[in-house]
């Protein structure tokens, strides 16, 4: 099978203006550099992981891809079509067609389900929006979806508050699958769940991917779930990629000092594990005034004054598709 | 072996809600020895926080401690009067809350908040208290403490706020520190900093710590002993190494196997079926039996397994403990 690219992101930038009220008009007083010129691609059938700490731009990237927050600049191609062009054309049908192909599972299943709709209403709403399932088949499809995500038929008449967190996340997944998407963006799908339930959802996502041949963009701050579920991983820091590589390659030989520190910071559930912890100094700088040069430079232990501070680092292939943005390598 | 500093026996804390009585903590026994770190592990709703709050008798309404004993240095805290408890809180036993954003007072500078605690427990002047506060800020490694001490909580990042919370907890040199998920609200790199800080301070000051967490990774690196809670009861209690390499309770085993690991990649994660039970009407017998793959009809479903000492200092509450074994691959590879 040849590798086909499903999603391609080119030079994506997402800035949020900070405004203050002036005498008459709002004026812009600053810019949050949420995502700053990132490029990556996701191949068909793979799970691409977007990892980083809070505020590094993972969710902003995902929302920009879906045009929930239109990007400031840059291009996004989905199956070769430019997403921005379709949204700018305001062609409702074309937009719907695109929306059907890309779906989103949100982080918090407690906030992303309408409490006044039954599970059946929630899962069948996409049918009436997209009209891709004939009326007489809708109920049949609903039960199919419920069983697919491991729920029972009788759950259809219930309301979200009657379910536990894990079950709610299953409902969210069923809703996303209702339109038979090609790409599923899962934004921290297990972060708000209990440990014993996390495994259920992670396994479900993996099973569904094999069954339905879907592509995932998996967003998480938790490297251990990323290692488990992703084929390729991109590590973000302050709105930029620092490293992109195959999962095994990345975990076995991380090249960027930030990736190394991030990995060493994860507590290992083994009392005998020799932790060679690289403690990072200080905290993530503000994305309003990102540091000059390499964004990681103020906290990097290998920093070289003239090189790292003056010019920013670009992603360079360090061999075998292992991309890293560090001038030291 | 060190003396017991804190001994909780058969603690019961119930919440009287409209929907019914929530048996949040239902017969928890545990001990913390002098100078050691006990990891209290469990999922949400297992009763970890309520156990810690009960220790200081600060359970929010409609919660009530209805049974058991909490022995601190041999004295039962449940029999103390409220004004006597105030001398224990902060001075003998200090508490660090999960969310540093809400545990600090937003309208006072952080220096003022420390001075308040210090002057409540120690007979010192304001200037002396301020000097002490400054010393504490240095201890928790706050950069430029002379300037930072006059800032307000909203001016600080999450990691910094948690450092302040640690400083406040340590201000009166407590013998026991209750740290309730101190790193859950923080990013991994900041979590590593705070855990490191707690570990160092604990050694420097020789205090004992009860670290509450749901993260097996966190306790592995920090705790000397671990007590695992499930649905308001203790499942297993033993040294950290024993819990990780020779767990006897099926819940502990499942918990260890359900967590994706960085060290080894498995195709499929072990799943604990179902969800955490409702604590208004908890399952009969062993509370884990509806989700347990080893449950035996007529045994586990009927009788509550008592916490028994299977090996020296290894307590397990399972009717079938010893008959079942953890899956070998996990143990073998992690060693």
Given the DSSP bridges, would you call strands A240-246 and A323-324 parallel, antiparallel or unpaired? antiparallel
A119 half-sphere exposure, CB direction, 13 A CA radius: 29
What gap in Å lies between CA B202 and CA B224, rounded to an integer? 12
Length of chain B: 335
Task: Please compute Rg for chain A using Cα positions.
Answer: 21
Task: Give the other-Cβ count within 10 Å of A276's Cβ.
Answer: 7
A202 min Cα distance to partner chain B (Å): 8
What gap in Å lies between CA B67 and CA B13, rounded to an integer? 7
Contacts of A275 in chain B (CB under 8 A): 221
What gap in Å lies between CA B269 and CA A200, rounded to an integer? 8
Nearest to A30 by CA among A39, A19, A45, A41: A19
B262 min Cα distance to partner chain A (Å): 5
Q: Which of A228, A265, A279 sits opposite B260 (nearest CB)?
A: A228
Q: Do A271 and B216 touch (CB under 8 A)?
A: no
Q: Do B261 and A262 touch (CB under 8 A)?
A: no
What is the per-residue pLDDT for B191?
A: 87
Residue, of B268 and A211, whose pLDDT is higher: A211
Q: Which of B220, B240, B334 sits opposite A267 (nearest CB)?
A: B220
Residue B144 forms contact with A (CB below 8 Å)? no
Q: Do A196 and B258 touch (CB under 8 A)?
A: yes
Residue, of A106 and B260, whose pLDDT is higher: A106
B161 min Cα distance to partner chain A (Å): 12
Q: Which two tokens stand for residue B144?
A: 């430029």
- Following CA atoms A163, B278, B98, B33 in sequence, which dihedral angle do they give, to the nearest 10 degrees? -150
Contacts of A262 in chain B (CB under 8 A): 188-189
Contacts of B258 in chain A (CB under 8 A): 195-196, 198-199
B17 half-sphere exposure, CB direction, 13 A CA radius: 13
Q: Do B193 and A279 touch (CB under 8 A)?
A: yes
What is the per-residue pLDDT for A165?
A: 84
Per the listing, tokens 């894990």 go with A166
> Coil, helix or strand for A13?
strand
Percent helix, strand, coil in chain A (nearest 5)? Answer: 35, 25, 40
Nearest to A276 by CA among A292, A289, A287, A265: A265
Contacts of B263 in chain A (CB under 8 A): 268, 270, 273
Q: Quick: pLDDT tens for A233-261.
A: 999 999 999 999 999 999 999 999 999 99
Checking if the pLDDT of A154 tops 50, the result is: yes
- Contact predicate A45/A66, CB 8 Å: no
Report residue B280 CA to chain centroid gap.
23
Determine the residue among B262, B290, B292 to mutate to test chain A binding: the one whose Cβ has the most chain A Cβ atoms within 10 Å. Answer: B262
Digits of tens for pLDDT over chain B (335 positions)? Answer: 568 899 999 999 999 988 889 999 999 999 999 999 999 998 888 899 999 999 999 998 889 999 999 999 989 999 999 999 988 998 899 999 888 888 889 999 999 999 999 998 888 999 999 999 998 998 888 888 888 889 999 888 888 888 899 999 988 889 999 999 888 878 888 888 888 889 888 888 889 999 999 888 889 889 999 999 999 999 999 999 999 989 999 999 888 888 777 666 666 777 888 878 888 888 988 999 998 888 888 888 888 899 999 989 999 999 888 777 665 444 434 33
Residue B246 forms contact with A (CB below 8 Å)? no
- Contact predicate A56/A237, CB 8 Å: yes
> Coil, helix or strand for A291?
coil
What is the per-residue pLDDT for A1?
A: 47
What is the per-residue pLDDT for B331?
A: 42
- Contact predicate A283/B190, CB 8 Å: yes
ipTM above 0.95? Answer: no
Q: Is B47 left (phi over 0), alpha (psi -120 to 50) or beta?
A: left
Contacts of A225 in chain B (CB under 8 A): 260
What is the per-residue pLDDT for B329?
A: 42
Closest-approach residue (CA) in chain B for A275:
B221
Q: Which of B43, B44, B258 sits opposite A199 (nearest CB)?
A: B258
In chain B, beta strands by DSSP E: 4-17, 20-33, 37-41, 63-72, 75-76, 93-96, 176-180, 208-213, 225-230, 233-239, 308-311, 314-316
Nearest to B275 by CA among A145, A193, A204: A193
DSSP B46: S
What gap in Å lies between CA B66 and CA B78, rounded to an integer? 10
- Following CA atoms A187, A190, A192, A196 in sequence, which dihedral angle do they give, to the nearest 10 degrees? 180
What gap in Å lies between CA A184 and CA A176, rounded to an integer? 8
The whole model's pTM is what?
A: 0.83
Q: Do A227 and B335 touch (CB under 8 A)?
A: no
Checking if the pLDDT of A265 tops 90, the result is: no
Contacts of A165 in chain B (CB under 8 A): 275
Contacts of B141 in chain A (CB under 8 A): none
Closest-approach residue (CA) in chain A for B244:
A270
Task: Please compute Rg for chain B using Cα positions.
Answer: 21
Residue B259 forms contact with A (CB below 8 Å)? yes
Which residues of A lie inside 8 Å of B (Cβ-Cβ)?
53-54, 164-167, 194-200, 202-203, 206, 221, 223-225, 227-229, 248, 251, 261-273, 275, 277, 279-280, 282-284
The count of CB pairs under 8 A between chains A and B is 131
Burial class (CB in 10 A: 0-12, 13-18, 19+), A317: exposed
Q: Do B335 and A54 touch (CB under 8 A)?
A: no
Determine the residue among B160, B258, B276 to mutate to test chain A binding: the one whose Cβ has the most chain A Cβ atoms within 10 Å. Answer: B258
Residue, of A138 and A21, whose pLDDT is higher: A138
Q: Do A269 and B256 touch (CB under 8 A)?
A: yes
Most confident of A213-217, A264-268, B180-184: A213-217
- Contact predicate A167/A151, CB 8 Å: yes
What is the per-residue pLDDT for B265?
A: 61
DSSP B89: B
CA distances (Å), origin A224, targets A265, A268, B194, B256, B262: 12, 9, 20, 13, 5
Q: Which two tokens stand for residue B228?
A: 């695992």
Residue B215 forms contact with A (CB below 8 Å)? yes
Q: Do B275 and A202 touch (CB under 8 A)?
A: no
Q: Which two tokens stand for residue B195?
A: 């855990």
DSSP string, A207-253: HHHHHHT-EEEEEES-HHHHHHH-SEEEEEETTEEEEEEEHHHHHHS
Contacts of B259 in chain A (CB under 8 A): 195, 198-199, 224, 269
Contacts of A273 in chain B (CB under 8 A): 220-221, 263
Q: Which residues pair with A28 in a beta bridge?
A: A19
Question: Could you give the strand order of the β-sheet that contains A81-82, starting from the edge strand earlier in sequence?
Answer: A26-43, A5-21, A73-78, A81-82
Residue B19 forms contact with A (CB below 8 Å)? no
pLDDT tier, A78 (very low <50, low <70, confident <90, very high otherwise): very high
Q: Do B261 and A267 touch (CB under 8 A)?
A: no
Q: Which of A197, A269, A280 sits opposite B189 (nearest CB)?
A: A280
- Contact predicate B160/B142, CB 8 Å: yes
Instruction: Give the Cα-Cα-Cα angle B326, B330, B333 (nearest 5 degrees).
Output: 140
> Coil, helix or strand for A71?
coil
Q: Which of B160, B190, B259 sits opposite A195 (nearest CB)?
A: B259
Q: Do B273 and A200 touch (CB under 8 A)?
A: yes
Task: Give the containing element (helix H, strand E) for A104.
Answer: strand A102-105
What gap in Å lies between CA A125 and CA B264, rounded to an integer? 41
Q: Which of A194, A198, A270 sits opposite B276 (nearest CB)?
A: A194
Q: Do B193 and A273 touch (CB under 8 A)?
A: no
B248 half-sphere exposure, CB direction, 13 A CA radius: 24
What gap in Å lies between CA B236 and CA B42, rounded to an integer? 11
DSSP tally for chain B: helices H, then strands E: 12, 12
What gap in Å lies between CA A271 and CA B244, rounded to an integer? 7
Nearest to A197 by CA among B25, B46, B40, B269: B269
Q: Do B275 and A164 touch (CB under 8 A)?
A: yes
- Contact predicate B268/B274, CB 8 Å: no
Q: Which of A221, A228, A279 sits opposite B192 (nearest CB)?
A: A279
């Amino acid at each position: 099978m040849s590798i086909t690219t499903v999603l391609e992101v080119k030079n994506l930038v997402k800035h949020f203006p900070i405004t203050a009220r002036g005498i008459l008009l709002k004026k812009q007083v600053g810019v949050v550099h949420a995502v700053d010129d990132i490029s990556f691609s996701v191949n068909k059938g793979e799970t691409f992981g977007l990892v980083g700490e809070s505020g590094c731009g993972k969710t902003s990237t995902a929302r920009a891809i879906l045009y929930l927050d239109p990007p400031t600049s840059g291009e996004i191609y989905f199956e070769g079509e430019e997403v921005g062009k379709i949204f700018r054309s305001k062609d409702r049908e074309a937009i719907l067609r695109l929306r059907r192909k890309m779906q989103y599972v949100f982080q918090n299943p407690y906030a992303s389900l309408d409490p006044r709709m039954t599970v059946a209403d929630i899962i069948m709403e996409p049918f009436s929006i997209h009209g891709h399932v004939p009326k007489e088949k809708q109920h049949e499809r609903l039960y199919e979806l419920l069983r697919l995500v491991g729920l029972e038929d009788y759950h259809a008449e219930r309301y979200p508050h009657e379910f536990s967190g894990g079950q709610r996340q299953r409902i969210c997944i069923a809703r996303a699958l209702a339109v038979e998407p090609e790409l599923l963006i899962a934004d921290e799908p297990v972060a708000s769940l209990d440990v014993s339930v996390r495994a259920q959802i992670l396994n479900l996502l993996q099973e569904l991917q094999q069954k339905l041949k879907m592509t995932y963009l998996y967003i998480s701050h938790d490297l251990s779930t990323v290692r488990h579920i992703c084929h390729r991983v991109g590590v973000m820091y302050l709105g930029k990629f620092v490293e992109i590589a195959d999962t095994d390659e990345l975990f076995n030989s991380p090249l960027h000092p930030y990736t190394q520190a991030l990995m060493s910071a994860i507590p290992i559930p083994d009392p005998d594990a020799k932790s060679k912890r690289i403690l990072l100094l200080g905290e993530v700088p503000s994305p309003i005034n990102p540091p000059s040069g390499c964004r990681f430079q103020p906290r990097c232990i290998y920093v070289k004054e003239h090189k790292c501070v003056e010019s920013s680092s670009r992603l360079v292939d360090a061999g075998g598709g292992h991309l890293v943005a560090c001038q030291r390598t | 072996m060190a003396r017991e500093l804190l001994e909780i026996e058969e603690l019961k804390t119930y919440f009287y809600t409209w929907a019914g009585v929530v048996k949040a903590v239902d017969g928890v026994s545990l001990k913390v020895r002098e100078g050691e770190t006990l990891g209290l592990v469990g999922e949400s709703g297992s009763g970890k926080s309520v156990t810690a709050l009960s220790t200081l008798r600060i359970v929010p309404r409609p919660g009530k401690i209805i049974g058991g004993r909490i022995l601190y240095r041999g004295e039962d805290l449940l029999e103390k009067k409220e004004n006597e408890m105030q001398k224990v809180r902060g001075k003998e036993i200090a508490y660090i809350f999960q969310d540093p954003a809400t545990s600090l007072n937003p309208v006072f500078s952080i220096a003022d908040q420390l001075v308040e605690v210090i002057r409540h427990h120690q007979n010192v002047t304001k200037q002396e208290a301020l000097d002490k506060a400054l010393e504490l800020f240095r201890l928790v490694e706050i950069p430029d403490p002379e300037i930072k001490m006059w800032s307000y909580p909203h001016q600080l990042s999450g990691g910094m706020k948690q450092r302040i919370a640690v400083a406040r907890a340590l201000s009166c040199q407590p013998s026991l520190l209750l740290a309730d998920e101190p790193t859950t609200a923080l990013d991994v790199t900041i979590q590593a900093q705070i855990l490191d800080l707690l570990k160092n301070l604990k050694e420097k000051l020789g205090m004992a710590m009860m670290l509450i967490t749901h993260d097996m990774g966190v306790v592995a690196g920090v705790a000397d002993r671990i007590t695992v809670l499930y649905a308001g009861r203790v499942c297993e209690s033993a040294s950290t190494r024993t819990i990780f390499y020779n767990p006897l309770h099926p819940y502990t085993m499942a918990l260890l196997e359900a967590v994706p690991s960085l060290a080894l990649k498995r195709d499929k994660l072990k799943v604990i079926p179902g969800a955490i039970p409702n604590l208004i009407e908890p399952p009969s017998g062993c509370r884990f039996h509806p989700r347990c793959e080893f449950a035996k009809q007529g045994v586990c479903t009927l009788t509550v397994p008592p916490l028994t000492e299977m090996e020296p200092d290894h307590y397990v509450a399972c009717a079938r403990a010893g008959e079942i074994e953890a899956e070998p691959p996990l143990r073998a590879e992690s060693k």
